[in-house]
Amino acid sequence: MSRTGATASQAGFFSRLGMAMKLHRQNFSGSLRGLFGQPTSSLMTITVLAISLALPATFHVLLKNGKAVSQGWNQGVEIALFLRPEISDSRAEALTRTLQLRSEVAATRLVSKEDALQEFKSRSGFGDAMDFLDENPLPAMILVTPTRAHSSPDSARALIATLAKEREVDVAQLDLEWVRRFQALLQLGDKLALALGLILAGGVVLIIGNTIRLAILNRRPEIEIVKLVGATDAFIRRPFLYTGFWYGALAGLVCWLLVTLLVFWLGGPVSRLAGLYQSSFRLDGLAMVESLWLVGAAILLGLLGAWISVSRHLKAIQPQ
Amino acid sequence: MIEFHNVFKRYETGHEALKGVNLALDSGEMAFLTGHSGAGKSTLLKLIAVMERPTRGQVIIDGANVGRAKNRQIPHIRRKIGMIFQDHRLLADRTVFDNVALPLVIGGLSQRDINSRVRAALDKVGLLNKEKMMPITLSGGEQQRVGIARAVVNKPPLLLADEPTGNLDPELSAEILKLFEQFSQVGVSVLVATHDLALIARMHYRTMTLRDGRMINTGLEE
């Protein structure tokens, strides 16, 4: 014979759902209050995390700006064809028109000997000295702008090789070598930023993991008790995951602030420097999307670190 | 409610805590478990609460072989068991109310249900006026009663108590056993491990005795 007086508590689905959401809200804000409960150590951790994130983020911003600068150079590709000194102006004009007909060429501009002299006088500062010369020593020059399709370093080089074969051309010049080197450098920077980002992301995961580990050990008696009264692992895990979330989110925000301040601080000098090169280039900070990515990635890293730590250490805590 | 079939428990240290224990406890039955310290009382309770696994034999709670339960089933088994400890095991940084509410919060009940059930449980143990206090400010007997309120708040079919009167004077001990009696009268199985033989002598309940890991008296008439 058995009496059936008592059964364990059961709750309906909707009241469970409502309660589960309430628990989430409590954990969400409770874990944040937990961080503010120990402001010094939390602040230190968040700062360390933010600096770890700020390094690759700053690298990214610098690379982005470097690319923006070199993009401008690439679009302004001009091939300079210096003509032989004995070529007459009329022949130079004829060649200019012929070149204009080529499919690779977007525009041509003839700089005659006379134009070149005028330009040299006005620009070089040696203008007066030129007056003492009997003859204009400067050659005529044709500036060839390739079409957009032929502006890449490789096809521009192919074009220059063809143009150099024209009989009238003495020297063909394309000042692209250093652009290519700069771009190779940027590509290297890309790889470096990626490697740096991965290493420091690993660091962030480890730092958060260790912080959560300490939090777990601190609350060991509490964890044992809630396990005894029937808490599932998910229930115990949740507040720690939220702690990881907050560490990530706050570190992401502080990192964003650091990078933005840095860009602001460097912005003035960079504009001045660009001004000296007749450029209106301005240092670009983190765009909205990039900022969201930054904070989002930081949150994911926080959750990941917390998850790894919780799944490793929670099993070890069993009630005695 | 509880069945042990030829249960052995050997710890990794080689110590054999239980040697072929058989026992059965019905629903709504109240029994004492006695024996010297080291006789295996604690191990037996831990096997019921799945804090330890049997080396051999079967431990069956409410029809389920908990010795073979998967880890993720353990919380659900424990929700059927109200546990009471000698050292109370209360959360020091939560109020009496929050401590008692813990099993209900874990069970996902609504706030309204939690409020009414916690108050009912506190009323039962006579601590309704102390719900906002911290456990540390209560006397030992009061803390023990908070532990009891927490154990019964989600109306589990089984109550386990490990030396529940260990630090209490005889009068308080008797009060607490009165509470257990009342729970058993409404259908809860109650198993109380204690070595307080004077206490047992005054109560006329079934008494099981362990010695060196063997059940030498199951407390049933031959």
Q: What was the pLDDT predicted at B87? A: 87
HSE-up (13 A, CA, CB side) for residue A62: 16
Number of compact structural domains in chain B: 1
How confident is the model at residue A280, as a pLDDT?
Answer: 75
pLDDT of residue A6: 43
**Cβ atoms B139, B116 nearer than 8 A:** no
- Contact of A138 with A120, CB cutoff 8 Å: yes
Residue A18: closest CA among chain B residues belongs to which residue? B110
The alpha helices in B21-95, defined as continuous H runs, are 41-48, 74-78
Phi-psi region of A79 (alpha: psi -120 to 50; beta: other; left: phi over 0): beta
Chain B residues with a Cβ under 8 Å from any Cβ in chain A: 1, 26-28, 49, 51, 72, 75-80, 83, 89-91, 102-111, 113, 117, 150, 154-157, 186-188
CB atoms within 10 A of CB B52: 21
* Closest-CA residue of chain B to A320: B51
In chain B, the N- to C-terminal Cα span, in Å, equals 21
Amino acid at B45: L
Pairing of strands B16-25, B2-10: antiparallel
Question: Among candidates B153, B155, B161, which has minimal Cα distance to B177?
Answer: B161
Range of the domain at B117: 26-41+72-217
Residue B115 — very low, low, confident or very high, per pLDDT cuts 50/70/90?
A: very high
Tell me if A229 and B106 make a contact (CB, 8 A cut-off).
Answer: yes
Per-residue pLDDT at B128: 92
Among A307, A162, A165, A143, smallest CA distance to A240 is for A307
Ranked by mean pLDDT, which of A296-300, B33-37, B141-145 comes out on top?
Answer: A296-300
pLDDT at B140 over 90: no
Would you call B111 and A19 a contact, using CB atoms and an 8 Å cutoff? Answer: yes
Look up residue B90 and give its DSSP letter: -
* Contact call for residues B131 and B119 (beta carbons, < 8 A): yes
For residue A72, what pLDDT is reported? 64
Residue from B78, B152, B159, B162 whose CB has the most chain A CBs within 10 Å, to mutate: B78
Res. B161 pLDDT band, cuts 50 70 90 = very high
CB contact under 8 A, B75 and A225: no
Q: In whole angstroms, give the CA distance from residue A152 to residue A73.
A: 11
Residue B59 lies in a domain: no
**Does residue B36 form part of some domain?**
yes
One-letter amino acid of A42: S
SS3 of chain A: CCCCCCCCCCCCHHHHHHHHHHHHHHHHHHHHHHHHHCHHHHHHHHHHHHHHHHHHHHHHHHHHHHHHHHHHHHHCCCEEEEECCCCCHHHHHHHHHHHHCCCCEEEEEEECHHHHHHHHHHHHCCHHHHCCCCCCCCCCEEEEEECHHHCCHHHHHHHHHHHHCCCCEEEEECCCHHHHHHHHHHHHHHHHHHHHHHHHHHHHHHHHHHHHHHHHHHCHHHHHHHHHCCCCHHHHHHHHHHHHHHHHHHHHHHHHHHHHHHHHHHHHHHHHHHHHCCCCCCCCCCCHHHHHHHHHHHHHHHHHHHHHHHHHHCCCCCCC
* Residue with token string 């502006």: A151
pLDDT in tens, A48-73: 999 999 999 999 998 888 888 776 66
| Chain A residue numbers touching B79 (CB-CB < 8 A) | 8-9, 229-230
A270, A281 contact by CB (below 8 A): yes
The structural domains of chain A, with segments of one domain joined by +, span 26-72+180-313, 78-175
Inter-chain CB proximity B76 and A230 less than 8 Å: yes
Kindly state the helix (H) or strand (E) to which residue B8 belongs, with its residue range: strand B2-10
Q: What is the CA radius of gyration of chain B?
A: 17
First to last CA, chain A: 34
Distance from A318 to chain B by nearest Cα, in Å? 8
Chain-wide mean pLDDT for chain B? 90
Kindly list the residues from chain A whose CB atom is less than 8 angstroms away from the CB atom of residue B103.
9, 229-230
A235 Cβ under 8 Å from any chain B Cβ: yes
Do A9 and B76 lie within an 8 Å CB cutoff? no
- Chain B contact for A232 (CB, 8 A cutoff): yes
* 8 Å CB contact of A9 and B109: yes
Using the beta-carbon criterion (under 8 Å), do B187 and A9 form an inter-chain contact?
no
CA atoms of A316 and A245, how far apart (whole Å): 23
Q: How confident is the model at residue B18 (pLDDT cuts 50, 70, 90)?
A: very high
Pair type for strands B158-162 and B81-84 = parallel
**Within a 10 A sphere around the Cβ of A316, how many other Cβ atoms?**
9
B165 domain-assigned? yes
Of A94-98, B42-46, B146-150, the poorest mean pLDDT is in: A94-98
Q: Of B168, B103, B95, which Cα lies nearest the Cα of B127?
A: B95
* H helices, E strands: number in chain B: 7, 10
* pLDDT tens-place string over residues A248-281: 999 999 999 999 999 999 988 888 888 887 777 7
Q: Say if CB B89 and CB A225 are below 8 A apart.
A: yes
**Is A1 part of the contact surface with chain B (CB cutoff 8 Å)?**
yes
Structure letter (DSSP) for residue B33: E
Q: Which CATH number does the domain A78-175 belong to among 2.60.40.1120, 3.30.2350.10, 3.20.20.100, 3.30.70.3040?
A: 3.30.70.3040
Whether B127 is covered by a domain: the verdict is yes
pLDDT tens string B72-85: 899 999 999 999 99
The complex's ipTM works out to: 0.90
B111 has a pLDDT exceeding 50: yes
Residue B66 lies in a domain: no
Q: Which two tokens stand for residue A122?
A: 């006005």
pLDDT at B208: 92
Rounded CA gap, A284 and A268, in Å?
12
Q: Are B17 and B9 in contact (CB under 8 A)?
A: yes
Nearest CA in chain B to A6: B157
- pLDDT confidence of B98, banded at 50, 70, 90? very high
**Predicted local distance difference test score (pLDDT) of residue A88:** 84
Domain assignment present for residue B205? The answer is yes
Query: How many angstroms separate the Cα of B124 from the Cα of each of A142, A218, A237, B190?
Result: 103, 33, 33, 17
Tokens in use for A224?
């044992």
Residues of A in contact with B49 (CB under 8 A): 228
At A175 the pLDDT is: 66
Q: Which residues of chain A have pLDDT under 50?
A: 1-9
CATH code for the domain in which residue B116 is found: 3.40.50.300
Question: How many angstroms separate the CA of residue B217 from the nearest CA in chain A?
Answer: 23
Token pair of A56 as six digits: 């690759």
Q: Rounded distance, CA A105 to CA A159, Å? A: 9
